[in-house]
Amino acid sequence: YQQIIDTLPPAPPLPPAKERLILHVDMDCFFCSVSCLGRKELEGMPVAVTWGDSTNKVSNAEISSANYKARESGLKAGMWMEQARALCPDLITLPYEFDKYSEAAERMYRELFAITPHVEGVSCDEAFADVTGLGTPEEVMSAVRTRIKQSTGCDASVGCSVNRLLARMATSKAKPNGQFFLGREGIDSFFDGKSVRTLPGVGRQTFKKLEAIGVGTLLELRGKSKV
């Protein structure tokens, strides 16, 4: 991301607007998706990218990325291979391919910068972009996903809203390989029934503190003027 930034002129000031339109782009199963490109024999198979020796059932290898087929068996990032093999005996494991990930990440970022100069990188497979005034949310999200798919061969999920937090939460609704716009008028219905644990950055300790003041859901949190 920074290497791309260094090759570009400084971004112009953001255009004035009563309300911003922010995209959150998150590549689906990024490492797995990139590693599976061009390998038709892996289509429909449970696949994971691992760190360490994954050749044995008893292994210190750790899953870094698992595709959705593998996740159907309960696999997730950070799981040890011994547990993963028990849940999914047919699991196919692949090693890291950093050069391929770097190339795919660069392609993703270049597609975003082709649409707007106002891009903020989060990681190799995740970014925010201010697309205020560039079209309707659905049009922009569709264009971004199409460009990324054509350039990288991989799927991206995109959320869109009036700020970064809501855009990121919208992406969780969009996954996998979809898009979702969360406008202000839909916030209450979107929040309804959701725990504050669904907020990015709210872990066990923060959740306990919120529970102690009677806040367990997003709507309860929104109803607090100050916490």
- Catalytic residue annotation: 126
Backbone φ, ψ for residue 22 (5° rounding): -115, 130
User: CA-CA distance, 15 to 13, in Å (whole number)?
Assistant: 6
| Those residues with Cβ within 8 angstroms of residue 45's Cβ, 6 or more apart along the chain or in another chain | 69, 90, 92
| Pair 160, 170: CB distance under 8 Å | yes
Question: Angle at the Cα of 19 (from 14 to 140), degrees rounded to 5?
Answer: 75
